[in-house]
Structure 1
Amino acid sequence: MDDGLNELFSALSDPTRRAILGRLAYGKATVAELAKPFKLSQPAISKHLKVLEEAGLIRSGREANSRPRELEPDAFKKISDWIADYRRFWDQNFDRLDDYLSTVQGNENDKSGD
């Protein structure tokens, strides 16, 4: 089953691409705007953008003479849904740990009350 998660997580594995996504969280930006904080050429940034677009994390718009990029919310929903399964797993484990600690603390209180 190809759910696209491998491509999504591969794209997210690069810190430059994560920083680009962080910038795009504030709104659309052109390649030149995205390249500013990095010591990379516009072609290098464009390669990162291509990876992000192919993974479905961003999309390219069209405004006058530019093609600003913006986030693609559906991809982030897919990631969030996948993570939610693991969040439930950890929540259940923490609930069991809370129960155990309450039991242990209750036993200690019973012993000190003797």
Structure 2
Amino acid sequence: GPLTVGEIADRLHIRQPQVSKHLKVLNESQIVEVRPEANRRFYKLRPEPLREMDGWLKTFRSIWDDQFNQLEDYLREIQEDKSN
């Protein structure tokens, strides 16, 4: 659920100014949403941008999988050649 800067800092074991700096960037990128309440601000992740990013990364995952599979085959061949 939504957390304050202090709660986020406590969970991540980093100082509040660092958290605030990162949250500012995340808010400007619309990755988090902010809800002011009295003198505090509550931050919450927005799932939509993360889903979009995941969709974009899926195209690269298949390429990476193919490349790693080819590398694995190549390394296996080298190892078999050394064994013979």
Deviations 1:28-62 (CA, angstroms, capped at 9, x unpaired):
11011112221x2x333212210111122211023
Partner of 2:26: 52
Counterpart of 1:87 (choices 51, 55, 61) is 61
Q: TM-score, normalised by structure 2?
A: 0.63
Q: C-alpha distance in 1, partners of 2:37/2:48?
A: 22
Which residue identity does 1:68 align to in structure 2?
Answer: F
Alignment of 1:1-114 (within 5 A): 27-36=1-10, 37-38=13-14, 40=15, 42-91=16-65, 93=66, 97=70
Aligned residues: 70
- What SS does structure 1 have at the residue aligned with 2:36? coil
Q: TM-score, normalised by structure 1?
A: 0.49
- What SS does structure 1 have at the residue aligned with 2:53? helix
Q: C-alpha distance in 1, partners of 2:58/2:26?
A: 22
1:66 CA displacement = 2.5
Deviating 4+ runs (over 6 angstroms)? none
Q: C-alpha distance in 1, partners of 2:59/2:22?
A: 29
Stretches of structure 1 that go unaligned for 5 or more consecutive residues are 1-26, 105-114
The percent of aligned pairs where both chains have the same amino acid is 36
Which residue identity does 1:85 align to in structure 2?
Answer: T
Q: C-alpha distance in 1, partners of 2:41/2:64?
A: 41
Stretches of structure 2 that go unaligned for 5 or more consecutive residues are 78-84
